[in-house]
Structure 1
Amino acid sequence: MVTAVTEGIKVSVKSKYQPYYSSVRQMNFVFAYEICIENNSHHTIQLLKRHWYIIDANGYTREVKGDGVIGVQPVIEPGQDHKYVSGCNLTTTLGKMHGTFLMERQLDGKQFEVNIPEFNLMTPFSQN
């Protein structure tokens, strides 16, 4: 698990290869990742947007932007967290992801970016 903290917001990520949904023959490798966003600040925040960079072993980079995460824009109170699971696919057995969440403080509308730490996407058989 990797973590990053920005303005009191802690983002932790762990990833896992999904062999059932993958096809080695078709060079399609599917990974799930679990995100935990902990609000350790004194302010209620809302996650507005996500911005991901997905990089495969060949250096090919995909950029993904959108509102919220998995269809929601969660409001997270101080001392609370929000967890979700999502996924991505690669055409290589190795890759990595990182990015940012755009957050907004509910008290005054201040928007700020929270770093999503870089994490690896790796099939178990690529570790040999």
Structure 2
Amino acid sequence: MATTITDGVRVSVETVYQPEYSNPANDHFMFAYRVSIENMGQYAVRLMSRHWYIFDSNGAKREVEGEGVVGMQPVIEPGNSHEYVSGCNLKTDMGSMKGEYLMERLLDNSTFNVQIPEFYLIAPYRLN
């Protein structure tokens, strides 16, 4: 599990290879990832947007930006967390992702970036 803390917000990510949705013969490798966002600060925050950097082991790089996560802009109260599951497809059986969330502090509507730690997407057979 990859974890980082930025301005009192802890982000942890776990990944799982999805062989049932992958097709290695056609360079299609599907991964799921579970993200946990924990508000360790004193004020409620809202996740406004995300910005991902996605890397394939063949050197290809993609960026994905958008509002919220899986269609939501969750408010996370102090001491609470928000979890979601999403997915990413690669053209290789190994790669990585990292990024950042734009968060809004509800007390004063100020915004700040929270780092998403780099995590690896690796088909299990590559670990032998």
TM bucket, shorter chain: over 0.9
Taking the TM superposition and a 5 Å limit, the aligned residue runs for 1:1-128 are: 1-128=1-128
- SS of 2:31's partner is strand
Letter in 2 for 1:44: A
- SS of 2:41's partner is coil
- SS of 2:27's partner is coil
Letter in 2 for 1:51: H
Structure 1, gaps ≥5 residues long? none
| 1:37 Cα deviation from its structure 2 partner | 0.1
Deviation per CA, 1:6-53: give whole Å up to 9, x if none: 000000000010000001111100000000000000010000000000
Question: How many positions carry a matched residue from both structures?
Answer: 128
Structure 2, gaps ≥5 residues long? none
Deviation per CA, 1:69-127: give whole Å up to 9, x if none: 00000000000000000001001010000000000000101100000000000001122
| Partner Cα distance (1:62, 1:16) in 2 | 20
Percent sequence identity over aligned pairs: 54
| Partner Cα distance (1:9, 1:122) in 2 | 26
| Partner Cα distance (2:74, 2:96) in 1 | 25
Letter in 2 for 1:104: E
- SS of 2:85's partner is strand
RMSD: 0.5
- SS of 2:126's partner is helix
Letter in 1 for 2:4: A
| 1:65 Cα deviation from its structure 2 partner | 0.2
| Partner Cα distance (1:48, 1:73) in 2 | 6
